[in-house]
A and B are shown apart, each in its own frame.
Chain A
């Protein structure tokens, strides 16, 4: 409600509307300078240096091989890397499944808590609460739930469901859904919050008018709600997809990319290449490729979804 609470406007003398001459032309530049400098130094410069290193052989543990590499790193990625295509396709699978499920459950949840009912404030607070939980804490919680000795599977087995000693995180058949559910737990509230914010801005008289015209709730949803929240959905799915692609906290701590590399995303692979194998040059080339893929997919997505269209 930040700004809705404005005091009643005071009578403003007409001449006050003119800008006071007291504003030096440099003021806006001074104001954005701290942010601008920080971003130049710690975002722009690192990005450029990643591009630079992608063309180098650079490995601090093997200094005798360092030097200009041309496109060697890139040819190796596409032709001679046993992990690149696998981790990339796992990344895409992870992002698509996560974002789709988070959107659907988040939308459903937002529609529910947008209704008027007894206990709504508490319900909202509880439903949104995992939003604030970190990836590492999420991992810790789900490690407790999934562990084979005292996890949830033990109690399910007590009830005759499944068998004792099941460890969902170390079985290649179950690790993917297990990780997906853990991340859903934390991710759904993000969508629910954003969509709920937008739902509240749909003018109520639109629904009343539709009601008068005899439109049922399904048709109201399709013809009023959906078009109204479309931009918010497009934007939040895009932000979330980028975020899910880049985020390594959860998988790093929950599965460590295992078992048998089964859940290694491209960024996780890059982190291993640079941090553990110290192969900075090659990791930079991988990073560059990841950038380009992200940028390309984002543009295609925005184009396809006609973001901001419809006379906005």
Chain B
């Protein structure tokens, strides 16, 4: 039982990590009359106990940041009562999170649109045509997964300086899109491959041209996949930190993660402001996450990741 034995033997993570969680999926081997059992019938406590412990580890940090954002400065109470919005007002106005929020939103939406459109075109070509450089192109897509954006900061900076795009949101939009493209394209071409070609061919027979057939036949079927890919792109762009830190210098161009970093770097960290800023940073992502959650798993299992 490799997984379980290693699980308990793993270097114990401190604090709340569920070290003592009973390993899932392993009870003593089924009793002799196990034949009647449904294959997935596991004693309830073996599900709820480890899950509960893990949930504690997951949710306490979320609670912690809400607590700090909502309780008055100096309070040490463990419930956010009396509640105050002072931290939010301060961060939004004095620390310009209102401006950062707009910038981040603009970047996120632009990256979402560009990534989806460009990856859709490329993904369609990869799924539906055989052409000479296809193998090489696929290989390039895979290899690009190994290229660390963080290590290309300097040449990218030089390129954007050459294009006179330093301190413009466009530089971050392009950089985020480019690093988002390869995986998006691989995923989308997988989704398209799962739509039978015969559907498109039938539409041609009915007089559609290729583009029209794609739009009315394939596109509607791709919607869940596109929602997933677009959401990944948005969340990544919203979250990413280094490109914005490097390419955007003036205060009015900064993004939320850079703003958070500034709050953390201050000499004496204003914890209430930091927590409120964090909550602001989390809101759009939580909304998107709630929206795509049900597609998250199935989107991946469409076989796309395995290529």
A interface list, Cβ under 8 A from B: 1-7, 9-10, 12-13, 16-17, 20, 22-23, 27-29, 31-32, 34-36, 38-39, 41-47, 49-50, 53, 97, 100-101, 104-105, 107-109, 111-113, 115-117, 121, 123-137, 139-145, 147, 150, 152, 154-155, 174, 177-178, 180-181, 184-185, 193-194, 196-198, 200-201, 204, 207-208, 210-212, 214, 216-222, 226, 231-232, 235, 239, 242, 245-249, 252-253, 267, 270-271, 274-275, 280, 283-284, 287, 290-291, 294-295, 298
Contacts and interface: CB of A to CB of B under 8 A. Distances in A.
A6 B261 CA distance: 46
Nearest to B163: A41
A150 B76 contact: yes
B147 interface: yes
B241 A135 contact: yes
A31 B122 contact: yes
A175 to B, nearest CB: 12
A131 to B, nearest CB: 8
Given A46-B156, A132-B285, A212-B35, A140 B27 contact: no
A152 to B, nearest CB: 7
Given A184-B17, A185-B58, A211-B34, A12 B126 contact: no
Contacts of A211: 34-35, 37, 39
A278 B55 CA distance: 44
A112 B3 CA distance: 13
B181 interface: yes
A144 B145 contact: no
A101 to B, nearest CB: 6
A224 to B, nearest CB: 10
Contacts of B79: none
B144 A39 contact: yes
A235 B222 CA distance: 25
B297 to A, nearest CB: 5
Contacts of B235: 132
A132 B153 contact: no
A60 B223 CA distance: 49
Interface string B43-64: 0100110110011011111101
Interface string B139-165: 010001111111111111011000000
Given A2-B299, A295-B146, 19 more contacts: A23-B210, A45-B159, A108-B3, A111-B24, A115-B47, A126-B55, A130-B61, A134-B241, A136-B257, A136-B261, A137-B260, A139-B264, A144-B274, A145-B61, A218-B1, A235-B306, A271-B153, A274-B154, A287-B151
B249 interface: no
A134 B65 CA distance: 14
Contact of B204 (A16, A113, A253): A16
A108 B61 contact: no
B149 to A, nearest CB: 8
